[in-house]
Structure 1
């Protein structure tokens, strides 16, 4: 059963020359599913995410289609019908987002506790201060950060910890859909692995669905149930991860898969042996 349905969604940037950033995209997100959205920079991935969460600003405009959220409580919401306080209440409660460059999005002059508590002050005003603080501490531990870090300022945390704090903030109200826009950008591969492990574990524990946006197709192959490949505002291929990897249909998908070096050296000349490296060094020294 789907939790999110995107139907023929089109988005333009209206400037001197109109840019058709997203063109009649149709997707469904199943409950508990990780849907990967891959494609090169500028293909419309983030624009699509901002349209889902109603965060687009002029000159961007939705020119066609709709996005429908199907709550686990049994009712549907056409997101285009939301406005004002209703939209504000919906965003973090039903659909939350971890933004691109999220680890640099924390306010540098506020402690982590203040920034996490702000979510509960806005959306759960009935909670006491003690309850808010307890929930914030539980959130940090849930994403693998010690609760003592509540008193820390962002600059006192590593990049991986700040990213985890942003994920904790997005999960504060236990949303049914989590949109993650390049959540591992600028993190080293070890921290990336830890973040991805946490996302997978939390998805299993809490049952939310994920739209995971990145240009890193091999990463999506590892964690996604299905993958949509996007190019020039269009979804050019959509399939389960294994089929897309073993039997890609679209030429662009095939090029994406072949653009990453193989660890065994079977694709291209990316792998060098120690002997070649030594020979090159010797030649440099002799020169």
Structure 2
């Protein structure tokens, strides 16, 4: 089967075999005034699919991800909607109905997350190995210490990091290695869904390419689905089966990646695409597209 056929198959699978369904999901931030951060978002994620979630900073992408996994803290409040998980075993779980202990067991086991900023996500005073082993201590208490250590080393090697790095601390690793460690943590318990929140932010283009290739390879090897969050729409066009474009808390366009690139329907999607100049062809007019202001244009001239 060709790559195009595989992409079409995965893009259609969300209709017949969804692993995660989000229905009319809304999140508000309370305060002197109420901010509607996420407004009645409905999405489905197919099994083994990569769904890209694109949009500018502050549009609600991360808030949606944290809301789905119930990681939001006050003053954030889920005001409407449901997030429903469909397991490989045929069980249906409404994430909003899980108790505290049920939710603790569910996270990382069924749905895991790669957070923004690997350096801030890793504990700076605990070794990488101890942090990996802690996942198994919490979720697989029957594992022996030796088994936990062995499994942790296998996870690092699977993402391209030597097992000897188990003894290292976060500050001793490069940015790309830290991000690989975060991916290893997220896949430790063989989850069925991984949410990746800006996993390539602040990485140079070479390391970014390596991380993207790693994600694609692991998805094919292990069969998990991915929600990939970023403001970088061209990156999503390369890695995603489908893309949802988000603006001001709402999904303004959703479609297969190839179709969205060839024939974008919403003006905001068109402007996102036009904000990245081509390496070849004629020079565009950034002022006309509204991407940068007149002062910035003058500075570039």
- Interval of TM-score (by shorter of Structure 1 and Structure 2): over 0.9
TM, length-normalised to structure 2: 0.88
Cα separation, 2, equivalents of 1:170 and 1:88: 14
State the shift of 1:12 in Å: 0.6
1:98-144: CA deviation from partner (whole Å, max 9, x where unpaired): 01112332111111110100000000000001100010000000000
Give 3-state SS (helix, strand or coil) of 1:92's partner: coil
Are 1:258 and 1:267, in contact at CA under 8 Å, matched by a contact in 2?
no
1:145 equivalenced with 2:154 (yes/no):
no
Give 3-state SS (helix, strand or coil) of 1:190's partner: helix
The aligned residue for residue 209 of structure 1 is: 225
Cα separation, 1, equivalents of 2:205 and 2:90: 40
Cα separation, 2, equivalents of 1:154 and 1:65: 38
1:50 equivalenced with 2:99 (yes/no):
no
1:26-81: CA deviation from partner (whole Å, max 9, x where unpaired): 00000000000000001000000001110011111111110000011101000010
The aligned residue for residue 278 of structure 1 is: none
The aligned residue for residue 112 of structure 1 is: 128
Cα separation, 2, equivalents of 1:181 and 1:255: 22
The aligned residue for residue 130 of structure 1 is: 146
1:187 equivalenced with 2:187 (yes/no):
no
1:196 equivalenced with 2:212 (yes/no):
yes
Q: 2:90 aligns with which of 74, 95, 98?
A: 74
Cα separation, 2, equivalents of 1:269 and 1:54: 43
Deviation larger for 27-36 or 51-60 = 51-60
1:162 equivalenced with 2:185 (yes/no):
no
State the shift of 1:238 in Å: 0.2
Are 1:103 and 1:166, in contact at CA under 8 Å, matched by a contact in 2?
no
The aligned residue for residue 294 of structure 2 is: none
Give 3-state SS (helix, strand or coil) of 2:107's partner: helix
State the shift of 1:91 in Å: 0.6
1:266 equivalenced with 2:279 (yes/no):
no
Q: 1:229 aligns with which of 225, 245, 248?
A: 245
Structure number with greater Rg is 1
State the shift of 1:83 in Å: 1.7
Cα separation, 2, equivalents of 1:267 and 1:224: 28
1:218-256: CA deviation from partner (whole Å, max 9, x where unpaired): 000000000000000110000000000000000000000
Q: 1:24 aligns with which of 40, 44, 48?
A: 40
Residues 236-275 of structure 1: pairs in structure 2 closer than 5 A: 236-268=252-284
Deviation larger for 203-212 or 107-116 = 107-116
Corresponding residue pairs, total = 270
Give 3-state SS (helix, strand or coil) of 2:41's partner: strand
State the shift of 1:266 in Å: 2.6
State the shift of 1:269 in Å: 6.6
TM, length-normalised to structure 1: 0.93
Cα distance, 1:201–1:103 mapped onto 2, change above 3 Å:
farther
Give 3-state SS (helix, strand or coil) of 2:190's partner: coil
Instruction: Give RMSD over aligned pairs.
Output: 1.0
Structure 1 segments of 4 or more deviating over 2 A?
none
Give 3-state SS (helix, strand or coil) of 2:109's partner: helix
State the shift of 1:267 in Å: 4.3
